[in-house]
Structure 1
Amino acid sequence: MHIIVVTATSSQIPQPIHGKNLSRLTRECFANQQSLTIDFKDVKSITLGFFQELFLPLVAEFGSDYLKSKLKIVNMAGHIDNMMQSAFKNLEVYFDKLTAIDQLGCDEEIYAMNQAWLIKAREIARENPVMTELILGITDEAMRLAVGRLSLEDIDFIARSNWLCFTPRFSSQFIQNINRESPSMVESMLGLSGNID
């Protein structure tokens, strides 16, 4: 299997949550006895957390020898490689975060999804009321203003709740019919309607 990072993450600067998602895809490949190539073509910058969330769980689960035989990294620019080396040398924050999440008793993946969603929602809510409604489905003006005023401490507090902060904007019928529509049609339907039946 071949995964292109910029395509898989749809992000100019892949974040820790993207690393976690790619790590999950990698496990699926290995479970199906497939090798995997991760392609860093056109990646201009990256976060340290992306590398930590992608590679550290895999090393712990499979071991470095297995990864060397099944996982191939291609098209990594020199400055991205330097950032990866830095990520592996600066693990204190990563392990402190895991310890804190464990002590709080919250699910690490729900925490990460909540945190990523809330940060992005705050950014959109501050910049553009129309996009807040279209992209996030937030139609209430008071909610938009409240989300736009969230501090990082507020976001962290809410993210640790162990409850997902967002819900699907589509019905089970929409999911059942999803393969009958083209990707661009699905994107348009989600964008033009707050809730999809």
Structure 2
Amino acid sequence: MPAADLDVVDLNLLWLIKARELAESDPDKAVIVLGLDAGLVSELSTLSLGELASIASSGVLQFRPRFRSLLWQHILERRGSASIAVRLQTLLMAASLG
């Protein structure tokens, strides 16, 4: 498998493991943070490491950023500025409290 493909598998597996951990520990937060419906979060929380590895090996990213292009543009224009990071962290914290 080419190195780029292995990187995709590694990224997928890391994301899936963290997503499963969040789904197990706080399903409501997982729905918001991961952008998945409650049924999928419930299923994700039951998958074994082997099942996650199998999904990760698909060769395509199993996740994508949910930020709109305008936000990415704003972030890139303001590199080094902590204001966006602080606002995003605040939104995530507010979502976890709700």
TM-score normalised to structure 1 length = 0.40
Q: Which has the larger radius of gyration?
A: 1
2:40 to 143, 149, 164: 143
Q: Which residue of 2 aligns with 1:186?
A: 88
Of Structure 1 and Structure 2, the greater strand share is in 1
* Greater RCO (Cα-Cα under 8 Å, separation 6 or more): 2
8 A contact 2:19–2:30 mirrored in 1: yes
- Unmatched tracts of structure 2, length 5 or more: none
Gaps of 5+ in 1: 1-101
Shift of 1:130: 2.0
Structure 1 runs, 4 residues or longer, greater than 3 Å off = none
Deviation at 1:133, TM superposition (A): 2.2
- TM-score by length of structure 2 reads 0.76
In the TM superposition, 1:100-119 aligns within 5 A as: 102=1, 107-119=5-17
Question: How many residue pairs are counted as aligned between the two chains?
Answer: 89
Root mean square deviation of aligned Cα: 2.4
Residue aligning to 1:123: 21
- Closer/same/farther in 2, CA of residues 151 and 106 from structure 1, 3 Å limit: farther
- What CA distance in whole angstroms lies between the structure 1 residues aligned with 2:67 and 2:54? 28
